Amino acid sequence: MLKKTILSLVAVQFLFTSFLKADEGMWLPLFLKSLNEADMQSKGLKLSAEDIYSINKSSLKDGIVHFGGGCTGEIISDKGLLFTNHHCGYGQIQSHSTVENDLLTNGFWAKSQAEELPNPGLTATFIVRIEDVTAKVLEGVTDNMPDAEREKKIADAIAAITKEATKDTHYGAYIRPFFYGNEYYMFVTETFKDVRLVGAPPSSIGKFGGDTDNWMWPRHTGDFSIFRIYANKDNKPAEYSKDNVPYIPKYVIPISLKGAEQGDFTMVYGFPGRTTEYLSSYAVDMIMNVSDPAKVKIRETKLAIWDKDMKESDKVRIQYSAKYASIANYWKKWAGEINGLKKLDALNKKKMFEQDFLQKVNTDDNAKSKYGELFGAFEKNYKAFTSLNNQRDYFVEAILGIEAAGYAFTYSDVVDALAGGKKAADVQKNIDKLKKDMAAFYKDFNAATDEKICAAMLKMVYTDLPKDQQASIFAEIEKKYKGDFSKYAADIYKKSIFSSQEKVAAALENMDSNYKKIAKDPIYNLIISCYSKFAKDVRPEYNRLDMEIAKLNKTYMKGMRELITNKKYYPDANSTLRVTYGKVDGYEPKDGVFYNYYTTLEGVMEKENPLVDEFVVSPKLKELYQKKDYGQYADKNGELRIAFCASNHTTGGNSGSPVFNGNGELIGTNFDRNWEGTMSDIMYNPDQVRNIVLDVRYTLFVVDKFAGAGYLLNEMKLVK
């Protein structure tokens, strides 16, 4: 028994010390000086923390943008030119594509600023400054306050602080909780609203490998696109106008042609979306064994249907290409996360951590009074929460995954208002919005495809959830259609107005009477039945337990930082500006297999398959390869490198992030993680976690040699 206890403690101590190895962490740039500067410099950084983040002078942060709210971009010219990923600009590229002018397939290169394409709704946001506002937000807030009162007091404080920070300026501001609400930080922002498409490679380069290679290493994808930020004559943000001029940035990132080698220092600067590194074992158990498997199964079914229809029709392919990529992205990520957590034995490691935490709690009466009941409360809450979360997953992924049903639900507020006695004139703004949104929805909607999705999703809910968790519509389908969901779907899509833009448009013209027709519509009735069940039986208790668990997480986080003091803590990612650092490195995904740290154009030719869209190689690229016409972009061996991998801790939102060498020069654009390392959103494994980077030399090669758009390089600062 003693031997077992000692081994357990040794394992836990290893977990503590390895839990934050140098390559792990998503650090707030505000604190690099005190937390990371010395460590970063010992590993090869030649810059100071002030060079990376400063509010007193121009710094690297001024060359980083939150691109479209979900990706990152980097400024690489004094005329507002920026790099991001092809998949980050994919929606914009698709929006400009038609069957006759297919920019997705053929690529796009503006030969002048006049040819650059505007993108309504696309934004690029800079961070002006970051400020710790914890004391201001939590002033007067106590733990024994009722939840509603506490949340209101915090919300009121946040509103007042951001209002004061942006008063008489054109800046915006937001405040985010950190460490589960134990701290709060404000981000003052400058958002530009005129962002134009400048260039994008064809999908045969920008999406080479497609979903087969997504989340995988080795990788050969030229995943980049180029945009330009425009401003008004005063260099301030403005809505799109022909009178706008290219933005003059505060900082332009230099681009290195020297490349990166094994062991070199790397730094990623961007906006990672969401991580949950400090979850309890009960949460990890739910994610690994219930939630992720369910979502993977649902999306896998949906993707198979889309894939078949996209291959049979160019129109459907263009309509669903961006949606397919979006759904496939996390389908594959979750599958990798499950495997990675199991390989890491994450659940048991979490339990070991909790055992050690409790040992420390039980040696201190004060700590025991605060944290002694913590894990009992976690267990009790997750026992109920897991089932509710599963029902929520099926509603969000399966039911709302039926496009026509999700779209029909957007009419419910207007229908309810008119049924309650209001006139169409009273809700005309809502009706006008429905008219505006209608064209965008039906542009990328195919009723025949969605009918198949409907049948498959409903069958899955019917099969996987207990009867008492199913909406009343399922009993009707069982009775009237004998459980034949294909027959049911065919019937309702034939009768519903929502399978036709023309019918919906006609209904919107006279809603004073037509709302009754919508209220009786079979697709509308499907979503209302499912939503009513969810709203009544799932959402209230789900929200209550979610709040309870959030409070437990806050307490647990506070306890960890209070009692486990032999490590530095970084806050979970929450779409705020972060710095991560590591080194260029390959890895061993499994026994007997080693992956090198970089790939070359040779690998593209080895993967070529003219019969598979994902692996088609452009004749022009092949010609350049055969001539070895790589120019200044070849490495010291005369090879053209495409990508490399490193040990930086990244996640979604880091797509498009600049990857720097120790001199602060751009060496690549972050675009993915390896499949074996996707568990890093929950637990970092230094032996397996790798971020995947597009070598900037391949980007420049494609722009210059392949596309003949070398004039864009004249704007850039190239370091040889």
Sign of CA dihedral 558, 563, 564, 566: positive
Specify whether 655 is catalytic.
yes
Residues with Cβ within 8 Å of residue 693, at least 6 apart in sequence: 266, 643, 644, 645, 646, 659, 667, 668, 669, 670, 671
- Please, which residues bridge with residue 200 across strands? 108
If you ran DSSP here, which 8-state letter would residue 111 be given?
S
Nearest to 697 by CA among 645, 659, 642, 646: 642
Phi, psi (rounded to 5 degrees) for 631? 55, -140
Tell me how far CA of residue 248 lies from CA of 118, 127, 230, 235, 455, in angstroms.
18, 16, 9, 7, 53
Residue/partner pairs of 46-50 with CB below 8 Å, 24 or more apart:
46/662, 46/663, 46/664, 47/662, 47/663, 47/664
* Contact of 194 with 174, CB cutoff 8 Å: no
> Side chain identity at 28, as an amino acid letter?
L
Catalytic residue among 223, 264, 285, 635: 223
Nearest to 166 by CA among 190, 198, 141: 190
Spatial distance between the Cα atoms of 603 and 220, rounded to a whole number of angstroms: 7
In terms of C-beta density within 10 A (0-12 exposed, 13-18 middle, 19 or more buried), how is residue 358 classed?
Answer: middle
Do 319 and 266 touch, CB atoms closer than 8 A? no
Q: What's CA 466's distance to the chain center, in Å?
A: 32
153, 145 Cβ separation under 8 angstroms: yes
Vertex 321 angle, CA 318 and 322, to 5°: 120
Strands 718-719 and 255-256, sheet pairing: parallel
Could you tell me how many residues make up the chain? 720
Catalytic residue among 62, 66, 77, 87: 87
The tokens describing 215, both together, are 């989340």
Return the SS3 of 208.
coil
User: Residue 514 corresponds to which amino acid?
Assistant: N
Sign of CA dihedral 20, 657, 36, 171: negative
* Residues 605/625, Cβ–Cβ less than 8 Å: yes
Contact 12, 356 (CB under 8 A): yes
Tokens 């850039």 -> residue: 716
Residue 388, CA distances (Å) to 338, 396, 447, 546 in order:
20, 12, 31, 10
Could you tell me the CA-to-CA distances from 32 to 49, 460, 501, 648, 681 in Å, in that order? Answer: 6, 49, 54, 16, 22
Inter-CA distances, 556 with 190, 227, 255, 428, Å: 35, 43, 43, 49
- The CA–CA distances, whole Å, from 425 to 5, 418, 631 equal 73, 10, 65
Catalytic residue among 618, 655, 657, 680: 655
Exposure letters 267-295 (e unless 16+ CB within 10 A, then b) = bbbbbbbebebbbbbbbbbbbbeebbbbb
Question: What is the H or E stretch that residue 603 is in?
Answer: helix 601-607
Residues designated as active site: 87, 223, 655
